[in-house]
Chain A
């Protein structure tokens, strides 16, 4: 708990989710939201309607994800500077995910950007990233445990 990143808890965090076809994403999103909210970070989650509905069903009382918005609305708010999170975490398991991460890098130049690259074959996707960010890369589809371990390490959380 004395880790530097643990001391620097962001006031706000934005989680950008991709298509929900890879199950570990939703599990990790709830895990990350829980960890940050416990530390006082305001967490906002954006994604397409399908992934947001999956999360809403899993979190009926909005204990973990009180604030969500669809991607188009969130991007509009970022462009118009109505939303300016200190930390942005992008989940990417496809070329589209990398595209969204690059967009976030451009729209949030001063924010800490962490890109979680996962799925069946994450290494080639990670190689597409040529913009400044922190990368968490792990082959993960159904089992979130190893990816959770890496996420915990990056943010200085005990498991």
Chain B
């Protein structure tokens, strides 16, 4: 996921958050959220995680998603991209 690190992102939860903490945070703190499985392509990279992976959408254009690094754990990022948010709405699912 090297290219995600090159995106302009906000860190919602810091390094070291557990994957389940990230999912619960998305479900509790964002009105709009979607579910995908590991291997889902986001920002041209395949995301990993414990299925189902929760993705939040804020203001219709900001995507909140988990990002895992082997040495640190999972942290939650927010990246603004209206086109990608629209694609998530078309390709992700509402139910776990």
List A residues at the B interface (Cβ < 8 Å): 18-19, 21, 47-48, 50-51, 71-72, 75-76, 78-79, 94-100, 102-103, 106-107, 128, 131
Mostly, the A contact residues are helix
Total inter-chain residue pairs, C-beta < 8 Å: 68
List B residues at the A interface (Cβ < 8 Å): 1-2, 18-20, 37-39, 41, 45-46, 48-51, 68-74
Complex-state Cα separation, A77 to B48, whole angstroms: 13
Q: Which residue among A78, A99, A103 has the maximum number of chain B CB atoms within 10 Å of its CB?
A: A99
Complex-state Cα separation, A128 to B49, whole angstroms: 13
Inter-subunit contact B46/A95 (CB<8 Å): no
Inter-subunit contact B70/A106 (CB<8 Å): no
Give the chain B neighbours of A78 by CB distance below 8 A.
39
Known: A95-B18, A95-B19. A75 touches B48 (CB 8 A): yes
Inter-subunit contact A107/B70 (CB<8 Å): no
Give the chain A neighbours of B50 by CB distance below 8 A.
98-99, 102-103, 131
A5 nearest CB across to chain B (Å): 27
Inter-subunit contact B38/A106 (CB<8 Å): yes
Inter-subunit contact B70/A103 (CB<8 Å): no
Complex-state Cα separation, A71 to B20, whole angstroms: 21
Known: A72-B2, A100-B48. A79 touches B39 (CB 8 A): yes
Inter-subunit contact B73/A95 (CB<8 Å): yes
B15 nearest CB across to chain A (Å): 10
Give the chain B neighbours of A100 by CB distance below 8 A.
48, 68, 70
Inter-subunit contact B70/A97 (CB<8 Å): yes
Name which residue of chain A comes closest to B41, CB basis.
A79
Complex-state Cα separation, A48 to B19, whole angstroms: 19
Give the chain B neighbours of A103 by CB distance below 8 A.
38-39, 48-50
